[in-house]
Amino acid sequence: MEQETPSQRGVYGISVASELSGVGSQALRLYERHGLLHPARTEGGTRRYSDADLHRLQRITDLIDTGVNLAGIAQILHLQTTNTQLETDNAQLRATQEADHDRAHPTRR
């Protein structure tokens, strides 16, 4: 089982997340309804926001401040996530390709 990093672990309740972010709790619920945020839940159903959630929330508020609507924000965040994953995959493929090349063509010393 993959262990969560501290930045991914939900530790802040909605009131603390609201205070830390400056975003009202109703807005946090709205963003969750629109699929923009996905806070963890306790067994009792209480939302728990992580540092990663707060970082994503900052990105959401930055986009809102520039006039992007919630549907546009959802698309932007999806594309950014996809792009990040593609960059990671590309870097891994390059590393594998370089390792294969180095094995096939060892340098003489």
CATH number of the domain that residue 66 is part of: 1.10.1660.10
Q: What is the 3-state secondary structure (H, E, C) of 60-102?
A: HHHHHHCCCCHHHHHHHHHHHHHHHHHHHHHHHHHHHHHHHHH
Collapse the DSSP code of 12 into the 3-class scheme (helix H, G, I; strand E, B; otherwise coil) and give the result: strand
Give tens-digit pLDDT for 64-92. Answer: 999 999 999 999 999 999 999 999 999 99
Residue 108 — left, alpha, or beta (φ > 0 → left; ψ -120 to 50 → alpha)? beta
Per-residue pLDDT tens digits for 3-60: 555 588 889 999 999 999 999 999 999 999 999 999 999 999 999 999 999 999 999 9
What does pTM read for this prediction? 0.76
Count of the separate structural domains present in the chain: 1
The answer to whether position 109 is within a domain reads no
- Within-domain flag for 66: yes
Residue 85 falls within a domain, yes or no?
yes
Q: What's the domain range around 46?
A: 14-104
Phi/psi of residue 41, each to 5°?
Answer: -130, 140
Confirm whether 67 is domain-assigned. Answer: yes
Residue 5, in any domain of the structure:
no
Q: Is residue 94 part of a domain?
A: yes
Domain assignment of residue 87, yes or no: yes
